[in-house]
Structure 1
Amino acid sequence: MLTKEQILAVRDLGFEVVVVPEWGGEVTVSEMGGKARDALMEALAEPQPTARFQALVLSSTVVDDGGSPIFTADDIEQLSGKNPEVLTRLVAIAMRLNKIGTKATEEAEKNSEAALSGSSGSDSLAS
């Protein structure tokens, strides 16, 4: 059985390295942890202009090699002024990785239904 230390030490958030020719390099787009996702959902509670929405998503999902966000709240305004095609492309990847949006929701529901239909009916965690 895994220990608390083992669980907390593992980097369990998926990521994707994306080439951004317009920026002359690569960025890493990551899944968000629960805390980051909650903060993003809170920031998006009110409707946002598209560029600001995209900047908020990317500030929560573009990370360094250690998995820490490279952008802060202070960068949102400047980030929202970047090439809209790049922002749109990166946000699409972030939303796919984080299972955010209509298509992701439909896919999750489909996977959930498949898992339920294969269920043993037991409430036990042991097989």
Structure 2
Amino acid sequence: MGADDILGADDVVIEPVTVPEWGGRVVLVRGLSGEERDAWEASIRKIRPSLSKKGEQEIVVDQTNARAKLLVKCIVRADGSRVFTDQQAPALGRKNGKALDRLYDVATRLSGLSDDEEQVIEGNSETTEGGDDSPSSSPETSDTPEPNS
């Protein structure tokens, strides 16, 4: 494949999800683009001074409203345009947790987020530490089982 083939490929995947908590309505969820995924990941990673190693920094995941921050980027209309702005994440985060989890599971799958990344978001992983600003270190996961969907 050439550059034109790749750039011209229609690779957007949208999946309908029925949400019983919202009257059985169908919500359309699409996967993130690479650019959107990078922005979302950056929005939930924070660099702070290490609590255990003086003079070093550590990267931590800010779980505050992480699901809603992802979903505002992934919930779309039939034409693929976003329903929410990034600024509406706090309001979306106040909706039913079970409904958000259902949509989040679809959004992470369609966006190619790995199980390791999901466990970090859900708090089932150790803090990532590093001596620089790079968020590229891979966190270790714990043995905590993931609940069934």
Query: Structure 1: which 5+ residue stretches go unaligned?
Result: 106-127
Residue 120 of structure 1: aligned partner: none
Q: Cα RMSD between the aligned structures? A: 2.5
Query: Taking structure 2 as the reference length, what is the TM-score of the superposition?
Result: 0.59
Deviating above 6 A after TM superposition, structure 1's stretches of 4 or more consecutive aligned residues are: none
SS in 2 for 1:18: strand
SS in 2 for 1:100: coil
Distance 1:98 1:3, change over 3 A: closer
Identical-residue share of aligned pairs (%): 31
Query: Structure 2: which 5+ residue stretches go unaligned?
Result: 47-60, 119-149
Distance 1:29 1:4, change over 3 A: same
Distance 1:66 1:2, change over 3 A: farther
Distance 1:39 1:23, change over 3 A: same
Q: Which has the higher helix share?
A: 1
Q: Which amino acid counterpart does residue 84 of structure 2 have in structure 1?
A: F
1:57 and 2:70 correspond: yes
Contact 1:96–1:104 (8 Å) recurs in 2: no
Distance 1:6 1:38, change over 3 A: closer
Query: Taking structure 1 as the reference length, what is the TM-score of the superposition?
Result: 0.68
Deviations 1:33-84 (A, max 9, x none): 122111111112132335x011011011111112122111221111010001
Contact 2:33–2:111 (8 Å) recurs in 1: no
**Higher alpha-carbon deviation: 82-91 or 34-43:** 34-43
Q: Which has the higher contact order (CA 8 A, sep 6+)?
A: 2
